[in-house]
A and B are shown apart, each in its own frame.
Chain A
Amino acid sequence: MSYAISANRLSDGAVVFLGQNGWVESLASAEIFAQREAAEAALGERAHADARRNLIIEPLIFDIRARDGVIEASHIREAIRAKGPTIRPDLGKQAVR
């Protein structure tokens, strides 16, 4: 199991992921943590710091897995957050691609 960190951007609420250098909009560019401890440390040190700097709100760790070489969230809730509403493929991140 690997992990990533997501949050919502304060200004517009958009789903963002913690990347190597700040927050990114797509899960594909997110930083992947192989250990839960490393993810917890990043959440505590980087994500919460950015929440205090008023960049993001509600950061959280979630499980990811690789399927056919593509990173995706293991749980349906985070999978939907990473893509957009399943009933509106024209909306959310899935629409951009």
Chain B
Amino acid sequence: MYRYDEFDAGFVADRVAAFRDQVARRLVGEMTEEQFRPHRLMNGLYLQLHAYMLRVAIPYGTLNARQMRKLAHIARRYDKGYGHFTTRQNLQYNWPSLIDTPAILEELASVEMHAIQTSGNCIRNVTADHFAGAAADELEDPRPYAEILRQWSSIHPEFTFLPRKFKIAVTGAVRDRAAIQVHDIGYQIVQNEKGVTGFAVYVGGGQGRTPLIAVKIRDFLRKEDLLAYTQAIVRVYNLEGRRDNKYKARIKILLHEKGADWMRAAVETEFANASRDFIELPSKEIARIQDYFAPPKFRKFAGPSENFESRRESDPKFAAFASTNVDAHQQPGYGIVTISLKPIGGIPGDASADQMDIVADLAERFGHDEIRVSHEQNLVLPHVALDDIVTVFDALAKSNLATANAGLISDIIACPGLDYCSLATARSIPVAQRISERFGEGARAREIGDLKIKISGCINACGHHHVAHIGILGLERKGVETYQITLGGSGDETCSLGTLTGPGFSSEEIVDAIERIVDRYLLVREEASEDFLTVYRRIGMGPFKDALYQTNVGADI
């Protein structure tokens, strides 16, 4: 795995020292809040409803046991014993004090972590497929490229004051688990006719108040040109992106105002004209970074795992877990284990310090010391031998971490919403909890099958509701929480944005409303394997709208 080189370590240490000094000056009044706020945000410290919130970067969602234990330690010592994993593969602490923050950053730096680039109008924490380096459908591990982009964009002087924040995602697999088409730039590793791998380039996607799907501006980009091409895109954006209106400042607006052809031409011109000095990526450099992500030493297995198979036959609970939470690995005899942070009725994405420690232990003992954070707010042990999954499952079950619902209706993404977030217009978490309780993880949830529900507490869409099969957006109408529903969104390779069903629902009504949609789906699907999204795409909004509103006439609020 990648470890900080000396440059990084020195840089982070300097930043922590500078912030310690700024905090001290702020507390004695040598800096005003206006002067201090940009520094606070640059170090990932926000002010939320109840307290400060510290957002810790977990680049491309990859962690080792030592780092996870440090996160647990910080949660215990400086916070309230838990952390919240976010849809940007980050971790948020909800209660740190300003006074403690420099010490927390120092603790993070001791395990090569930080809170830089989690805020501000810069290139943010690069995200990647959470199954990277493990997935059976992968062409190549995307993380070395995510890391190259991260290193290059960290404190890049040209790109620290962009018109708005800028998000890049990279995937190396056929199935898009990184939602690259709703990012400012999405890179997908592909192979050309000659069998050479490079990138397909998507630009101008995004969620938020104006959701737009990215446009593919290039079918194939040589790997050597990754930085040069990224630079070209960001330069065009930096020059042409609107700075007059915060809500029109993202590259997606530029692309959709000026058109894909204009964008393609502008980027290609900039790309062709810019000097390649210092920016062409030699294959030696790629190989050097790839070394950090070299696959672990996998064991060789002769046949199927008897251990795994016999438990699957004898224990329905384990069988359910194996079918939803264990994915195919590139290596025979191994599986990818998803640890659901969505216990039934629980808070999506929250993990206690004790749970973090358990996951760290399991990663160390059975998972080649690797942990991933998924944008779906779950944790992943990417490399577990099938032989060991039984033991891992039993240990997880003891800590309420073995909920067998990955990808099912109760595996809900929910942003913090009005329970924590100062921008929220409504609560998200309690809605997620009630839906989760209604459908559970048992036979009913399994019968419904793959169904992604995602909830945001305001139009900023951190809960990714636009790309949910069933999206829920919490708003406020006359001081009361109200919830709009969208259907048919998807963040995968068939990316689509959800369509609004119509008038919203009160907090009391929303769970019943979701149930009516789900019941209608079960009624109209042609066979059990036809999932919700497929049915929606086949029959459209009409039947769902009928189901939603016929029993609810006059509920327009």
Cβ-based interface call for B29 (8 A): yes
Q: Is the CB of B481 within 8 A of A76?
A: yes
Q: Is the CB of A74 within 8 A of B479?
A: yes
Give chain A interface residues in 44-85, CB to chain B under 8 Å. Answer: 51-54, 57-58, 74-77, 80-81, 84-85
Q: Which residue of A54, A77, A81 is within 8 Å of B28 (Cβ)?
A: A54
Q: Is the CB of B29 within 8 A of A54?
A: yes
Cβ-based interface call for B320 (8 A): no
Tell me the complex Cα distance, A54–B208, Å: 34
Q: Which residue of B99, B347, B427 is within 8 Å of A11 (Cβ)?
A: B99
Tell me the complex Cα distance, A75–B479, Å: 6
List, in ascending order, chain A residues with CB within 8 A of B148's CB: none
Q: Which residue of B29, B80, B97, B418 is within 8 Å of A77 (Cβ)?
A: B418
Q: Which residue of A11, A54, A85 is within 8 Å of B419 (Cβ)?
A: A85
List, in ascending order, chain B residues with CB within 8 A of A92's CB: 50
Q: Is the CB of A10 within 8 A of B27?
A: yes
List, in ascending order, chain A residues with CB within 8 A of B32's CB: 52
Cβ-based interface call for A39 (8 A): no
Interface membership of chain B positions 96-127, coded 1 if the CB is closer than 8 angstroms to chain A and 0 otherwise: 11110000000000000000000000000000
Output the least CB separation between A41 and chain B (Å): 22
List, in ascending order, chain B residues with CB within 8 A of A88's CB: 347, 419
Tell me the complex Cα distance, A73–B28, Å: 32
Given contacts A11-B97, A54-B29, whether A81 and B427 have CB atoms under 8 Å apart is no
Cβ-based interface call for B433 (8 A): yes
Tell me the complex Cα distance, A81–B50, Å: 6
Tell me the complex Cα distance, A74–B96, Å: 28
Output the least CB separation between A91 and chain B (Å): 6
Give chain B interface residues in 473-523, CB to chain A under 8 Å. Answer: 479-481
Q: Is the CB of B98 within 8 A of A11?
A: yes
Output the least CB separation between B44 and chain A (Å): 14
List, in ascending order, chain B residues with CB within 8 A of A81's CB: 49-50
Most buried by A among B50, B51, B80, B479: B50
Q: Is the CB of A58 within 8 A of B98?
A: no
Tell me the complex Cα distance, A32–B51, Å: 23
Residue of B nearest to A84 (CB): B50
Tell me the complex Cα distance, A30–B28, Å: 26
Tell me the complex Cα distance, A13–B48, Å: 8
Chain B's interface size range is 20 to 34
Q: Is the CB of A85 within 8 A of B27?
A: no
Given contacts A80-B49, A87-B433, whether A12 and B419 have CB atoms under 8 Å apart is no
Q: Is the CB of A77 within 8 A of B49?
A: yes
Q: Is the CB of A11 within 8 A of B80?
A: no
List, in ascending order, chain B residues with CB within 8 A of A51's CB: 33
Interface membership of chain B positions 378-404, coded 1 if the CB is closer than 8 angstroms to chain A and 0 otherwise: 000000000000000000000000000
Q: Is the CB of B430 within 8 A of A14?
A: no
Tell me the complex Cα distance, A73–B51, Å: 18
Tell me the complex Cα distance, A80–B28, Å: 30
Interface membership of chain A positions 6-27, coded 1 if the CB is closer than 8 angstroms to chain B and 0 otherwise: 0010111111000000000000
Cβ-based interface call for B293 (8 A): no
Cβ-based interface call for A86 (8 A): yes
Q: Is the CB of B29 within 8 A of A85?
A: no
List, in ascending order, chain B residues with CB within 8 A of A74's CB: 479
Tell me the complex Cα distance, A12–B98, Å: 5
Show the binding face of A for B, using Cβ within 8 Å: 8, 10-15, 51-54, 57-58, 74-77, 80-81, 84-88, 91-92
Show the binding face of B for A, using Cβ within 8 Å: 26-29, 32-33, 47-52, 80, 95-99, 347, 418-420, 424, 427, 429-430, 433, 479-481
**13 new A-B pairs (CB below 8 Å) besides A11-B27, A74-B479, A87-B430?**
A10-B26, A10-B98, A12-B51, A13-B50, A13-B51, A13-B52, A54-B26, A76-B418, A86-B419, A86-B430, A87-B427, A91-B50, A91-B80
* 21 A-B contacts (beta carbon < 8 Å): A10-B26, A10-B33, A11-B97, A11-B99, A12-B52, A12-B97, A13-B48, A13-B51, A13-B95, A14-B50, A57-B33, A57-B47, A74-B479, A76-B480, A76-B481, A77-B424, A85-B419, A85-B420, A86-B419, A87-B429, A91-B50
